[in-house]
Amino acid sequence: MNQRNNRRLALFPVPFQGYINPKLHLAQILHDQGFSITILHTDLNSPDPSSHPHFTFRSISDGLRQSEASTSDGVRLMTLLNARCAAPFEERLREEVSSLDAPVTCLIADALFGFNRDAAERAGVRRMVLRTTGATSFRVLAGFRSLRGRGYLPIEESRLEDPVPEFPPIRVKDLPRITGEPELLDQILNDMIEGIKDSSGVILNTFEDLEQPALSLLRQEYPIAVFPIGPFHKCGPSSSGSLLAEDRSCISWLDKQAPNLVVYVSFGSIASVNDQQPFLWVIRPGSVSSSELLENLPSCFLEALEERGKIVKWAPQHEVLAHRAVGAFWTHNGWNSTLESISKGVLMICMPCFSDQNVNARFVSDVWRVGVHLNNGLERRKIAEAIRRLLRAARFKEKANSCLMQGGSSFQSLDGLANHILSSES
Ligand code: UDP
């Protein structure tokens, strides 16, 4: 472990919650392995350094105006970030690599920041890549262009139920829904694939027991070291990367509820639940068209609601999922939420919206069978089916825990990763 103390790693997350959380957790994991950590971050959504006093934080000026930072067109925003960050990032990386004090010896880049590749090469530093989605959805996304070439994309209503034989059990309706200019998207995806292919290795927030078939195909397709060391979030404080303040009043509300009855709802669009069902619902500011929805609800309504339901703007999600009162998670199936739910053994009611979420939801319902896929609202039959899946959810929770223990697949992969970083530096 001593050998690692003077090895400094730089990590640079894409500045959105679903990317920041796994990157900071990975940083914590590597810090626990004895490495020193520098977090490079954009001005947009910069993380709070006080949550990580043992990391060094360095900002990269992204030059984005507030009006340019909208996530309504994610492809355009990623393209802008790639263009604006390239030069300041390279300058900063060169400084960090040549620092006399504690030079950075390895960059852990984000797959969606294509400029990392040239910058690292010119700065003469090793580069590994973190891909924050699952292995399965990564393969589907990497095949996006060829799926388009074979007519599966853009998705046509008449073909929704058609199977996509390359990625069983995916159907056309499960393919990633990404709006934005196709040329810009192709550029981002191409940079992602090439950037991974010639990196020193890819790190994934997943584990063998969950995605073994996809991981094995990935190893055949990419001639580089692959390190599935997840679930990351089990190795650090849950609040570490939250960009919004967590409303902890939901925990004391949960404390008053009966075991396993509460449905935790978090995916940011308007949904309705059975009026007999207790629920805790996150309505993130800006996630519904009336952005001040929560402020405009009369306080007497919220007080009356407290008996059965609780609404917050942002929840301490790990703690909520671990709470004895929570029996199900009605989710959009972002990869982090999916993995967090699996590792807590909480049943998922899947309501995917876009990007990799549809692929994740299909695997949750049809492959791992730890949740149900909602196509036409909340049907009683589906809920009954979900309850039968409780046992499987418990089994996967066990697997998610045991892979991190000594001798487990993620434990061994992490050991391999630490040695790989050291060996590639010599
Ligand atoms: N999250 C949270 N509180 C909330 C809602 C979400 O802490 O009220 C966290 C959640 O634990 C997860 C992340 O935000 O780590 C969301 O990432 P995910 O990949 O699930 O979805 P995305 O935001 O990328 O769509």
Residues 299-348: pLDDT tens digits?
666 666 667 789 898 999 999 999 999 999 999 999 999 999 999 999 99
Q: Measure the CA–CA gap between 214 and 138, rounded to whole angstroms.
A: 9
Residue 291 has pLDDT above 60, yes or no: no
Percentage of the chain modeled with pLDDT above 70: 86
Residue 271 pLDDT > 80? no
pLDDT at 273 over 70: no
Task: Considering only residues 289 and 296, tell me which one the structure prediction assigns the higher pLDDT.
Answer: 296
Q: Residue 297 pLDDT more than 80?
A: no
Within 10 A of 114 (CB to CB), how many other CB atoms are there?
Answer: 23
Which protein residue has the closest C-alpha to ligand 1 atom 7? 317
Alpha helices in 198-333 (DSSP H): 208-221, 249-255, 293-296, 299-305, 317-322
Q: How far is the CA of 337 from the centre of ligand 1 (A)?
A: 6
The answer, yes or no, to whether any atom of ligand 1 lies below 6 A from the CB of 17, is yes
Please tell me the distance between residue 423's alpha carbon and the centre of ligand 1 in angstroms. 34
The pLDDT value given to residue 269: 30
Residue 268 has what pLDDT?
A: 36
Nearest CA to ligand 1 atom 23: 18
- What residues form DSSP beta bridges with 201? none
239 lines ligand 1 (CB under 6 A): no
Ligand 1 binding pocket includes 360 (Cβ within 6 Å): no
Are 49 and 36 a contacting pair, CB within 8 Å? no
Question: In the prediction, which pLDDT does 270 show?
Answer: 29
Closest Cα to residue 24, out of 5, 63, 52? 52
Question: What does DSSP assign to residue 224?
Answer: S
Q: Which is the closest atom of ligand 1 to the Cα of 340?
A: 11
The DSSP bridge partners found for residue 82 are: none
ipTM: 0.99
- CA–CA gap between residue 129 and residue 206 (Å, rounded): 14
Which residue among 336, 340, 359 is best mutated to probe the pocket of ligand 1, counting the most ligand atoms within 8 A of its Cβ?
336
Per-residue pLDDT tens digits for 190-209: 999 999 999 999 999 999 99
* Residue 388: per-residue pLDDT: 74
Q: What is the pLDDT of residues 118-134, one digit of tens each?
A: 999 999 999 999 999 99
Place of tokens 């570490």: 240
The amino acid at residue 222 is Y
C-alpha 314 – ligand 1 centre gap (Å): 9
From the list 306, 332, 304, the residue with the least C-alpha distance to 254 is 306
d(CA 24, CA 415): 19
pLDDT tens track for 224-259 = 999 999 999 987 655 568 888 899 999 999 999 999
Q: Is 334 in the pocket of ligand 1 (CB under 6 A)?
A: yes
Residue with the smallest CA separation from ligand 1 atom 2 is: 317
Strongest mean pLDDT among 215-219, 299-303, 420-424: 215-219
pLDDT value of position 237: 59
Neighbours of 230 (CB within 10 A): 32
| Nearest protein CA to atom 6 of ligand 1, as residue | 317
Residue 221 has pLDDT above 80, yes or no: yes
SS3 at position 90? helix
Structure confidence at residue 289 (pLDDT)? 55
Please write the tens of the pLDDT for every residue from 169-198: 999 999 998 889 999 999 999 999 999 999
Q: Is the CB of 336 under 6 A from ligand 1?
A: yes
- Distance, CA of 103 to CA of 126 (rounded, Å): 12
The span from the CA of 358 to the CA of 110, in Å, is 22
Q: Is 281 in the pocket of ligand 1 (CB under 6 A)?
A: no
> DSSP character for 358?
H
381: left (phi over 0), alpha (psi -120 to 50) or beta: alpha
* DSSP strand pairing (104-110 vs 126-131): parallel
Ligand 1 proximity of 315 Cβ (cutoff 6 Å) = yes
Q: Cβ distance 250 to 320 under 8 Å?
A: yes
d(C-alpha 132, C-alpha 110), whole Å: 8
Strand order in the sheet with 309-312: 309-312, 279-282, 262-266, 326-331, 347-350, 371-373
